Amino acid sequence: MKNRLCTVRGKSALFLTPSLLGTVILFVLPFSVVVFYALTDYGSKEFAGLENFSRLLQNDAFCLAAKNTGILCALAVPSAVILSLLLALLLQEKLPGKSKFRTAILSPLFVPVASVVMIWRILFHDNGTINALLTQLGADPMDWFRSGAARYMILLLYLWKNLGYHMLLFLSALSGVPREINEAASVDGAGCWRRFFKIQLYYISPTILFVTVISFISAMKIFREVYLLAGAYPGEALYLLLHFMNTTFHSMDYQKLCSAAILLALAMLLIIGVLYFVESRFGKDMEER
């Protein structure tokens, strides 16, 4: 026994044990419990197969939440990527007040959510600043919390909060593009957009993938701001997947909650997998160049 422990393999196993134990107890076991709840009946705890999933997919609230979350992601992710990239490109140029502008873009990262929510409520209330401006301009005031415009209000909040961080990532990636290639292309007569699409885009494609993935994850997780703005049961346009999961957690409906969590995880894995596949194909082309 002593000899076995003293070998390299034995020592390695011993030192890995705490980490492994932690991973098993804090990650693998909870995940197993989630799968267990998703596959069992909530009365008798007997194996129920895919019945919970089938019931979940027929639940109108879940379908509404999934639709709203999908729409929000479809709006938020491209907007976040494109706008943050444009901001990064803008900040690469020699502009006066560039550092102050960068600070202004980054500062929403440090503002507490509750403060942001309060400001948004003042801005977008039925009698708030935006509606007052619209009224003065002769337009009808909008119901920002209950109509379809609610999505754009949340999109604006999401972009305002997250653009700074994504912009930082792109700035870092753009600074890694070899200057010589850009200069050579410029000498050869390539314009700025051609240089961007033919050179810079390829070099920053891993960062684009990364920003897309984290934007996607952040968009799927939007909940806190909407909950503080509109409560546990907001209007139809604002009811998101995490609202559904929050209320099922509070009502102890663990089967529904775990089934929803697994479906959400699978959807995210699928989408992120597709993104990685696209990037690997696109990136392979870049390497061959």
Partner 1 sequence: MMKAVFRSTRQKHTLCLLLALCLLLSLILTGCGNEAAPSGRETAACSVAFYAPVTSDEAYEICAMQRTQSGLAVLCRVGSNPYTYELITLNDDLTPAGANILSEDVLNHPVAFAEGDSLLLWWQDDSANLGVVEQDGEVLFETTFSSDASLLQNSEGLVFAFSGGQIFTQCGELPLPSPETDGNVCYAYCIFEQEGAVYAILAEQSQRPAGWETVGNYLCRLDSENALVLGEKLPLETDITAACALDGTLYFVSRDVVYSYADGLLSTVASLISLGIRGDCVVWMEARQDGSLLLALKDSLALLTPDADTGTRLLRIATYGSEAPSMLADAVTSFNRSSTDFKADLIVFSSLETLNLSIASGEQYDLICTGDVSTLRSYAEKGVLAPLDDMALLQSEELFQNILDACRTEDGLYYFPPFPCLSGIVTPESIEIGSIDSLFACSEENHIYLYSYKESVLTSLLQDGISPWLDQPDGFLDESFLRLLEYCNGYCSLDNVEMQQMIEGAVPDWKKLQFSSISSKSDIYWADQDYFPMGEKAVWHPSPFSPYSGLVIQDAGFGYVGVCEGGSMEDAEMFLEYLLSEQYYEMLGVDSYPVSSYPCFPLRKLTQTFSGDTGERLYALVESADHLCGVSQEVTRIIYEETGAYFSGDIDVTTCAQRIQSRVDIYLAEQGD
Can you tell me which of 22, 30, 78, 273 binds partner 1, judged by CB under 8 A?
22
Q: Is 15 a binder of partner 1 (CB under 8 A)?
A: yes
Q: Is 224 a binder of partner 1 (CB under 8 A)?
A: no
Measured CA to CA, the distance from residue 64 to residue 113 in angstroms comes to: 25
* Residue 42: CB minimum distance to partner 1, A: 6
Half-sphere exposure of 61 (CA within 13 A, CB side): 16
User: Which residue's CB is nearer to partner 1, number 178 or number 231?
Assistant: 231
Q: Is 187 a binder of partner 1 (CB under 8 A)?
A: no
Q: Is 3 a binder of partner 1 (CB under 8 A)?
A: no
String of contacts with partner 1 for each residue 75-114, x by CB under 8 A: ----------------------------------------
* Residue 126: CB minimum distance to partner 1, A: 5
Can you tell me which of 7, 17, 23, 135 binds partner 1, judged by CB under 8 A?
17
Give the burial class of 74: count Cβ atoms within 10 A of its Cβ; 0-12 exposed, 13-18 middle, 19 or more buried: exposed
User: Which residue's CB is nearer to partner 1, number 26 or number 104?
Assistant: 26
Q: Is 127 a binder of partner 1 (CB under 8 A)?
A: yes
* Residue 57: CB minimum distance to partner 1, A: 11
Q: Cβ distance 234 to 243 under 8 Å?
A: yes
Which amino acid is it at 31? F
Q: Is 146 a binder of partner 1 (CB under 8 A)?
A: yes
* Residue 157: CB minimum distance to partner 1, A: 20
Q: Is 18 a binder of partner 1 (CB under 8 A)?
A: yes
Q: Is 126 a binder of partner 1 (CB under 8 A)?
A: yes
Q: Total binding residues for partner 1 by CB under 8 A? A: 37
String of contacts with partner 1 for each residue 49-68, x by CB under 8 A: ------x--xxxx--x----
Q: Which of residues 230-269 bind partner 1 (CB under 8 A)?
A: 231-236, 239, 244, 247-248, 250-254
Binding stretches for partner 1 (CB under 8 A):
5-6, 11, 14-15, 17-18, 21-22, 25, 42-44, 55, 58-61, 64, 126-127, 146, 231-236, 239, 244, 247-248, 250-254
